[in-house]
């Protein structure tokens, strides 16, 4: 039996056609689930009883569960328990323009970035679509808020769970579901090059963020093992292709590690790589953890790095910090189990 939250509207339309029903039944199901927030199939009162009985044989609406919530001033971190007793985390951030969520896409992560707490828990499995969708629904209901933007930037590498992540994006973007605009959905990847080319052809033009973090292959391979497979030169080419196909600006994420990647030399090398491209660099003050040996660059170093990029004509920002007091900031998420 499969979870109803796993299915895009198009997939449900196909199902209804296959059982000899009209495809508008899929829209009715979506309205009950996402707009009316009714999860008991017996309560889908505008759908004939015999169809409801058939639905109950094929589908369930089981939920993952909230185990814990930690609160900071503008941030809430949620720990979820999955049906197989695995754990994931998601983070809510309140901005003056709305509420955003950072969702997880995998249990654990195989990318093994040296500075990232999330990667210490090796990948156990991909999340199903419903396990991503329900992170949003459960938090909206718990906090009584509407989430207006989504970043797929929690535990896991989204492009390593490509099919499920794309279905998740289609569902949350659907006007009959959560109706989150494509320009308010951001996918962050450490650079799975073949999937970046695939993503560029997606009809829904979401935002793409690349975890870059070092402008030379030697340093990037030390920090990010993925670079040994997908190195900088072909990654830059994939980014150029993405820009050409989508006409959408790409974010380059760069975590600031003290005495590792924060020198003026590296700032200039980074500027050389991205000169003239429709990107902006998001400098991320490193969020220290108890388990990893890296430390945060000083404000002075971050400012010098910022100024160097700015003078070289690179659009650059410094990320506003959220949730570091509750280990909910970038790079700090980790399933509570096995800590």
Catalytic residue among 102, 109, 116, 330: 330
Q: Which of 89, 106, 131, 134 is catalytic?
A: 89
How far is residue 127's CA from residue 160's CA, in Å, rounded to a whole number? 11
Asked if 321 is an active-site residue, the reply is no
Is 89 a residue of the active site?
A: yes
Dihedrals phi, psi of 36, to nearest 5 degrees: -90, -15
Residues 6+ apart with CB under 8 A from 186: 149, 150, 151, 152, 153, 206, 207, 208, 209, 251
3-state SS of 292-336? CCCCECCHHHHHHHHHHHHHCCCEEEECCCCCHHHCCCCCCCCCC
Structure token digits, residue 121: 């828990």
Contact by Cβ (8 Å): 117, 292:
yes
For residue 301, count CB atoms less than 10 angstroms from its CB and return exposed for 0-12, middle for 13-18, buried for 19 or more.
middle
What's the rounded Cα separation, in Å, for the pair 317 and 279? 11
Residues labelled catalytic: 89, 330
């Amino acid at each position: 039996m499969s979870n109803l939250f796993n299915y895009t509207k198009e997939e449900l339309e196909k199902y209804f056609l296959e059982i000899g029903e009209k495809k508008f039944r899929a829209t009715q199901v979506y309205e009950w689930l996402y707009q009316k927030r009714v999860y008991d199939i017996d309560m889908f009162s505008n759908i004939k009883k015999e169809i409801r009985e058939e639905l109950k044989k094929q589908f369930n609406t089981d939920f993952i569960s909230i185990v814990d919530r930690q609160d900071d001033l503008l941030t809430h971190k949620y720990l979820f328990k999955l049906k197989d007793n695995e754990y994931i985390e998601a983070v809510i951030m309140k901005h003056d323009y709305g509420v955003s969520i950072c969702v997880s896409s995998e249990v654990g992560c195989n990318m093994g970035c040296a500075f990232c707490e999330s990667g210490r828990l090796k990948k156990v499995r991909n999340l199903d679509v419903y396990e991503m969708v329900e992170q949003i629904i459960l938090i909206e209901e718990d906090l009584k808020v509407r989430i207006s933007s989504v970043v797929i930037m929690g535990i896991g590498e989204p492009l390593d769970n490509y099919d499920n992540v794309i279905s998740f994006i289609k569902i949350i973007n659907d006007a009959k579901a959560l109706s989150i605009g494509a320009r308010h959905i951001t996918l962050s990847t450490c650079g799975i090059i073949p999937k970046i080319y695939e993503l560029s052809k997606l009809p829904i033009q979401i935002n793409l963020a690349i975890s870059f973090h070092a402008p030379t292959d030697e340093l990037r391979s030390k920090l990010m093992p993925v670079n040994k497979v997908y190195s900088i030169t072909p990654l830059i080419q994939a980014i150029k292709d993405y820009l050409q196909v989508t006409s959408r600006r790409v974010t380059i994420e760069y975590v600031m590690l003290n005495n590792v990647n924060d020198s003026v030399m590296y700032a200039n090398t980074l500027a050389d790589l991205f000169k003239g491209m429709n990107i902006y660099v998001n400098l991320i003050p490193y969020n220290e953890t108890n388990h990893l040996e890296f430390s945060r660059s000083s404000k002075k170093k971050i400012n010098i790095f910022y100024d160097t990029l700015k003078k070289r004509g690179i659009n650059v920002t410094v990320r506003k910090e959220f949730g570091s007091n509750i280990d909910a900031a970038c790079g700090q998420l980790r399933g509570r189990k096995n800590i």
